[in-house]
Amino acid sequence: MVYVASPYYVTTSDLSSKRRQPDLSRHLSAEARARLPNPIKSIWKVAQVKPGTINMGNGDPHHTLYPICEMNFVVPSIHEQDPVQAWRVGTGEQQTVSSYRDEPCALSLKTAMAYSAGAGLKHVRDTLAELNDRIHAPPKHTVTLSLGNADALTKCFRLLGDPGDSFLCEEFTFSAMTNAALPLGINWVPIRMDKDGLIPSDMELILANWDEDSRGKRPHVLYTIPCSQNPTGSTLSLERRRQIYQIARDWDVIILEDDPYFFLQYDLDIRQTTIERYGFFRAMAEVLPRSFLSMDYDGRVMRLDSFSKIIAPGMRLGWVTCNEFLAEKLDMLTDSSSQHPHGFGQAFVSELLGSRGWGTDGFMKWVASLCREYERRRNLFMDVFERKVAGSGLASAEVPKSGMFVWIKINLDLHPRYRELEDTKLLVGPVSNTAELMDELFRKLLECGLVMMPASTFAIVDRSGCVQSDSHIADRVNYFRATFVGTDETIENGLAIFGRGLEEFFCY
Q: Mind listing the pLDDT tens digit for each residue in 458-508?
A: 998 777 667 665 567 889 999 999 999 999 999 999 999 999 999 999 997
**CA-wise closest residue to 274 among 262, 288, 260, 261:** 288
Whether residues 302 and 159 fall in one domain: yes
Tell me the chain's radius of gyration from C-alpha atoms.
25
Least confident of 44-53, 148-157, 414-423: 44-53
Q: Is the residue at 31 inside a domain? A: no
238 compared with 62, residue with greater pLDDT: 238
Contact between 199 and 480 (Cβ < 8 Å): no
Q: Which residues, at least 6 apart from 465, have a Cβ–Cβ distance to it below 8 Å?
A: none
pLDDT computed for residue 284 by the predictor: 95
Q: Which domain holds residue 475?
A: 373-505
Average of per-residue pLDDT across 50-75: 77
Region of residue 403 (left: phi > 0; alpha: psi -120 to 50; beta: else): left
Q: Is the residue at 162 inside a domain? A: yes
pLDDT higher than threshold 70 for residue 48: no
Domain end call among 369, 388, 420: 369
| CATH number of 477's domain | 3.90.1150.10
pLDDT computed for residue 10 by the predictor: 38
**CA-wise closest residue to 319 among 345, 286, 284:** 345
**CA-wise closest residue to 259 among 329, 319, 203, 219:** 319
pLDDT higher than threshold 90 for residue 424: no
Whether residues 295 and 381 fall in one domain: no
Q: Which residues, at least 6 apart from 128, have a Cβ–Cβ distance to it below 8 Å?
A: 143, 145, 305, 319, 349
Contact between 346 and 106 (Cβ < 8 Å): no
Q: Is the residue at 22 inside a domain? A: no
Whether residues 445 and 300 fall in one domain: no
Q: Is the residue at 377 inside a domain? A: yes
Whether residues 188 and 277 fall in one domain: yes
pLDDT computed for residue 8 by the predictor: 38
**pLDDT tens string 390-420:** 999 999 999 999 999 999 999 999 999 999 8
- DSSP symbols for 415-449: STT--B-S--TT--S-SBSHHHHHHHHHHHHHHHT
Contact between 310 and 370 (Cβ < 8 Å): yes
Domain end call among 369, 385, 401: 369
Whether residues 361 and 232 fall in one domain: yes
Domain end call among 320, 351, 369: 369
Q: Is the residue at 65 inside a domain? A: no
Whether residues 206 and 353 fall in one domain: yes
pLDDT computed for residue 473 by the predictor: 86
**pLDDT tens string 328-366:** 999 988 888 777 788 888 899 999 999 999 999 999 999
Please report how the helices 488-505 and 434-448 are oriented relative to each other, as an axis angle in degrees rounded to 10. 130
Q: Is the residue at 212 inside a domain? A: yes
Whether residues 281 and 394 fall in one domain: no
Q: Is the residue at 5 inside a domain? A: no
Whether residues 163 and 302 fall in one domain: yes
| CATH number of 272's domain | 3.40.640.10
Whether residues 234 and 379 fall in one domain: no
pLDDT computed for residue 2 by the predictor: 29
Please report how the helices 359-388 and 122-135 are oriented relative to each other, as an axis angle in degrees rounded to 10. 60
Please state, rounded to an integer, the average pLDDT across all residues of the chain: 88
Q: What is the pTM of this model?
A: 0.89
Please report how the helices 122-135 and 280-287 are oriented relative to each other, as an axis angle in degrees rounded to 10. 60
Alpha-carbon distance of 402 to 265, in angstroms, equals 4
Strand ranges, E, within 324-470: 395-397, 405-410, 453-454
Whether residues 363 and 377 fall in one domain: no
Whether residues 327 and 382 fall in one domain: no
Q: Is the residue at 6 inside a domain? A: no
Whether residues 307 and 439 fall in one domain: no
Alpha-carbon distance of 422 to 436, in angstroms, equals 18
235 compared with 116, residue with greater pLDDT: 235
Contact between 44 and 319 (Cβ < 8 Å): no
Domain count within the chain: 2
pLDDT computed for residue 18 by the predictor: 42
